[in-house]
Amino acid sequence: MIALSLRDIADSVDGVLHLASTDDDPERMLSGSVQTDSREVTPGSIFVAKPGDVTDGHLFAPSAVEQGAELLVVERVLDLPVAQIVVPDVIVALGALASTVVARVRAEGRLKVVGVTGSNGKTTTKNLLREILGRVGPTVAPRGSFNNQVGAPMTMLEVTTDTRFLVVEMGASSVGAIARLVALVRPDIGIVLCVGLAHVGEFGDLDATVRAKSEMVTELLPTDVTVLNADDPRVSQMSERTRARVVYFGEYGQAMVRASNVRATRSGTTFVLHLTSGESSPVTFRVLGEHHVMNALAAASAAEVLGVDLATIVAGLESVQRAERWRMEVLGGRDNVTVINDAYNASPDSMTAALKTLAQIAEPGGRTIAVLGEMAELGDLAGEEHDRVGLLAVRLNISQVIVVGRAARRMHISTINEGSWDGESAYVDTADEAFDLLRTLVQSGDTVLVKSSNSAGLRFLGDRLGDLFS
């Protein structure tokens, strides 16, 4: 974190400062890391005692002090020999502190902020932007999927006076969540990737999802830029809700940053990138799955707005080998067996994209095996959408489907009801059962996709299969 005094921090979070002793100085400067996990605290850190679903961060404050924390942000005074700032809500305080840090660095005139949202593809796009922009100047982007009211501020707090670009991933489980994040960081560029059924169970319906994602663009200024998916009507229509200049990306229609000659293979996807400047270049994109080309276009759009040249954009895109851990991650290799571990997130859209990729990249004469688990957070649409996935697997002529877990069982029933298969769909209750079955089933030349929501736990099954065939 940039250097701030105890007084400055207290003022920024609207908290009450309690000094460690009478000798302590409210003008004492702190520049250590900000942590919500006491295990990550190092000497000089600020520990934010975040309440959790199971436990309370205040219980870990003594450990944080032992590790060297010099300041606690808490909701009640603790009997500990360290400076403390008491606030009504530590999560709100965390966001306020992050907002202060970004505003102070931005006031120096160099920092540019890119916000990224969408039902799918946020993490991939963020990673691509980090690689591209990092070639131009110091860039801060989230670790993993830090995209909520805690994760986004934690990313923002990593900004220093040297940072030139900040990429903030913005997720939401309810209307208003993205608006709050946008208010904290005020992006110069706001990207909306797509609107789909991911988390629709939490939003309530698709219209609410559209409203939530639109929050990325509604507060942008006329001097800002919004980057919108031209191929998704729900996204492209957001141009009517923003004052910002609009840049469209996609393969069709009004796309200004485009991809042509897209070809998916087992080693990635090749395409020709066309920028708004009229320049173009072939790209050998090693992230598996044709659907990730849209994420590459979004990243390229934002990078061009920020003045990055075509060669640097292409070099950044081509340097990324996977979307992220457990996202279309290619494993295996022994006996020409390829394992695709894509079991960190799953929605109807991403499940469809993954199955289509599996069908596209199969070895000639080789089999395709889809190991599928639950798509979570679909609410009343869960049954219907799991049915659709089962039907899609049949229609794509996937060689073998293995459905894991009772919450996903309707996929298995749907494949059977389609009536075109005999024994090409199997159901098991657990990942261990699936592993035992696959160990005897998989043969040379097979391509195996493991796909589910994070809550289904199949990402670890994917890792085991990758190790088995490595």
pLDDT in tens, 377-391: 888 889 999 999 999
Average pLDDT over residues 408-417: 92
Confidence of residue 197 (pLDDT cuts 50, 70, 90): low
- What is the tens place of the pLDDT at every residue in 16-59? 999 999 899 999 999 999 999 999 999 999 999 998 777 899 99
Q: What is the pLDDT of residue 211?
A: 87
Residue whose C-alpha is closest to residue 434's, from 390, 357, 373: 373
- What is the tens place of the pLDDT at every residue in 222-234? 999 999 999 999 9
Q: Which CATH class is domain 329-468?
A: alpha beta
Reply yes or no on whether the pLDDT at 202 is more than 70: no
For residue 277, give the DSSP letter: T
Return d(Cα 231, Cα 201) in angstroms, integer: 24
Structure tokens at 24: 């302590």
Q: What is the pLDDT of residue 365?
A: 84
CA distances from 75 to 57, 93, 100, 111, 166 (A): 10, 10, 20, 32, 29
Sign (positive or negative) of CA dihedral 207, 356, 147, 301: negative
- What is the tens place of the pLDDT at every residue in 332-391? 889 999 999 999 888 898 999 999 999 999 888 889 999 999 998 888 889 999 999 999
Return d(Cα 261, Cα 269) in angstroms, integer: 10
Confidence of residue 200 (pLDDT cuts 50, 70, 90): low
Query: CA dihedral in degrees (363, 365, 369, 370; nearest 10)?
Result: 60
Give start and end residues of each alpha helix (H) in 21-119. 61-66, 90-106
- What is the tens place of the pLDDT at every residue in 280-332? 999 999 998 888 999 999 999 999 999 999 999 999 999 998 777 778 898 98
Q: Which CATH number fits domain 4-88: 3.30.70.100, 3.40.50.300, 3.40.1390.10, 3.30.830.10?
A: 3.40.1390.10
Q: What is the pLDDT of residue 250?
A: 97
C-beta of residue 291 within 8 angstroms of C-beta of residue 123: no
Residue whose C-alpha is closest to residue 461's, from 435, 439, 436: 435
Give me the DSSP letters along 242-262: -SSEEEEEESSTT-SEEEEEE
Q: What is the pLDDT of residue 165?
A: 98
Q: Is pLDDT larger for residue 406 or for residue 267?
A: 406
Domain boundaries, the chain: 4-88, 110-319, 329-468
CA distances from 84 to 141, 158, 284 (A): 29, 21, 52
Average pLDDT over residues 420-441: 89
C-beta of residue 114 within 8 angstroms of C-beta of residue 166: yes
- What is the tens place of the pLDDT at every residue in 257-282? 999 999 988 888 999 999 999 999 99
Length of the chain: 470
Q: What is the pLDDT of residue 201?
A: 53
Q: What is the pLDDT of residue 210?
A: 86
C-beta of residue 343 within 8 angstroms of C-beta of residue 462: yes
Reply yes or no on whether the pLDDT at 82 is more than 90: yes
Express as a percent the part of the chain with pLDDT over 90.
Answer: 77
Average pLDDT over residues 445-456: 94
Return d(Cα 116, Cα 170) in angstroms, integer: 6
Architecture of domain 110-319: 3-Layer(aba) Sandwich (3.40)
Confidence of residue 203 (pLDDT cuts 50, 70, 90): low
Return d(Cα 392, Cα 412) in angstroms, integer: 12
Q: What is the pLDDT of residue 99?
A: 97
Q: What is the pLDDT of residue 52?
A: 77
**110-319 and 329-468: identical CATH topology:** no
